[in-house]
Amino acid sequence: MRRLVLDDGKRLDGRGSEDLRALSSEAGMIPRTHGSGLFSRGETQGLSLVTLGTTDDTQTFDAYTGGPNEKRFMLHYNFPIFSVGESGRIMGPGRREIGHGALAERSIAPGIPSLEDFPYAVRVTSEIMESNGSTSMAAVCSGTLALLDAGVPLKRPVAGISIGLCTRSNDDGKIEAYKLLADIIGWEDAFCDMDCKIAGTDSGITGFQLDLKLKGIPYEIMEEAIGMAKKARTAILSNMSDCLPKEREEMSPYAPRIVTIPIDPSKIGELIGPGGKNIKRIVEESGCEINIEDDGRVLIYSMSAEGLEVAKECIEGITAEVEVGKLYRGKVVSIKEFGCFVEVLPGKDGLVHISELANFRVKKTEDIVKEGDEIWVKCIGVDDKGRVKLSRKAAMEERKAEFSDDEEGGSPDAGDDSEE
């Protein structure tokens, strides 16, 4: 084989040294998943599936030597024996699965968006359907396609390729002839002196692994190998782009929807409520899963848009502040001799003094409002203790002025508390 490559310039399958095998990229073939991608390079084929989850689904692990102890992006690589035409018992992950999976994961990881930009935990499962050289790089390519199909806004798509090296050395052990081979097949991997897997984007390398049977190789050969890998990677990225140039705008209907609401960290206790009363009520009413981070980020996870809106409105209502000068339609929750208390936001009420109920003298609060009534009020102040002062009289005057400025004429009910 060495004579065939070095002397005749031929490869076992008839390709040139820089030629790639036939490429094929597909995405979205399995609609029930959150994302799917199939990449083929000759007789090597990888199928990847993406599952999106909440931040509670991040993988945690012991960090005895320091550093991070959890990760939100995981790639699991499986190499079933049928991919090489064999049969037998399928065991748990072995050296190949762990090593190749780690290489593929760290190659794609730099392209995963930050938690702020994409608040999901992301799991990729890569299944090798057929193997004839460099299945880990097929996992990188199919994994990228599946992520884009799932709507993950990757910083840049990632692809990978394997470069082989065939050499002849003199009696002193120095390399006197060599040939670099792009996209090596199984037999070339077995008989050549190097298998260099290089993954990256169109602008740089994100991961590599060098398997070398020699004691070392000159810098010039390695530089040439990296250049060959870039050329091959660019061709693969172009093929993938023809299939799916960027992430899908619409996520799978089976993927959870996530909305992030930033709140004042001092409001976290108020949102949770005594004994978790408030947050439990929101979860029960909306059917959503809600995570509250220490920095004030509230993550809402839901399978339905309706539930998402219910949870969002409840959270915004509880954490919102009553603004001076703003009109509110609130519910009368308590009647007193000196006025009434009106709930203008969930869990937040204020006092409408009897002198602020109407633009005339009111003898009894019950003459104007009753408990349970919904009325328009205007916030006219908040004292240093946080007590809210409201005015029905000011709200009526402002609403009446708004209607009188309408070109089509004012409404005869502009000053009352009825719904428009």
Task: Supply 137's token pair.
Answer: 């790089």
Task: Supply 405's token pair.
Answer: 């400025």
Q: How confident is the model at residue 406 (pLDDT cuts 50, 70, 90)?
A: low
How do residues 71-117 score in pLDDT, each as one tens digit? 999 999 999 888 988 888 877 888 889 999 999 999 999 999 998 89
How do residues 166-205 score in pLDDT, each as one tens digit? 999 888 878 889 999 999 998 888 888 999 999 999 999 9
| % of the chain surpassing 90 pLDDT | 56
**Are residues 265 and 252 in contact, defined by beta-carbon separation less than 8 angstroms?**
no
296: alpha, beta or left? (left if phi > 0; alpha if psi -120 to 50): left
Task: Supply 245's token pair.
Answer: 């140039």
At residue 151, does pLDDT exceed 90? yes
User: Where do you find CATH 3.30.230.70 in the chain?
Assistant: 2-243
For residue 417, what pLDDT is reported?
59
Helices (H) and strands (E) in the chain, counts: 9, 19
Architecture of domain 257-319: 2-Layer Sandwich (3.30)
Please state, as a whole number, how many other Cβ atoms lie within 10 Å of the Cβ of residue 147.
30
At residue 303, does pLDDT exceed 90? no
Report the candidate in 148, 122, 124 with the shortest Cα–Cα distance to residue 136: 124
pTM above 0.85, yes or no: no
> 327-404 sits in which CATH class?
mainly beta
User: Where do you find CATH 2.40.50.140 in the chain?
Assistant: 327-404
User: Where do you find CATH 3.30.1370.10 in the chain?
Assistant: 257-319
Q: DSSP letters of 306-367?
A: HHHHHHHHHHHHHH--PPTT-EEEEEEEEEETTEEEEEEETTEEEEEEGGGS-SS--S-GGG
Q: Among 3.30.450.40, 3.30.230.70, 1.10.1740.10, 3.40.190.10, name the CATH number for the domain at 2-243.
A: 3.30.230.70
How do residues 104-130 score in pLDDT, each as one tens digit? 999 999 999 998 899 899 999 999 999
Neighbour-count burial for 315-346, b at 16+ CB within 10 Å, e otherwise:
beebbeebeeeebbebebeebeeebbbbbbbb
- Distance from C-alpha of 96 to C-alpha of 73, rounded to nearest angstrom: 20
- Distance from C-alpha of 402 to C-alpha of 273, rounded to nearest angstrom: 38
For residue 345, what pLDDT is reported?
82
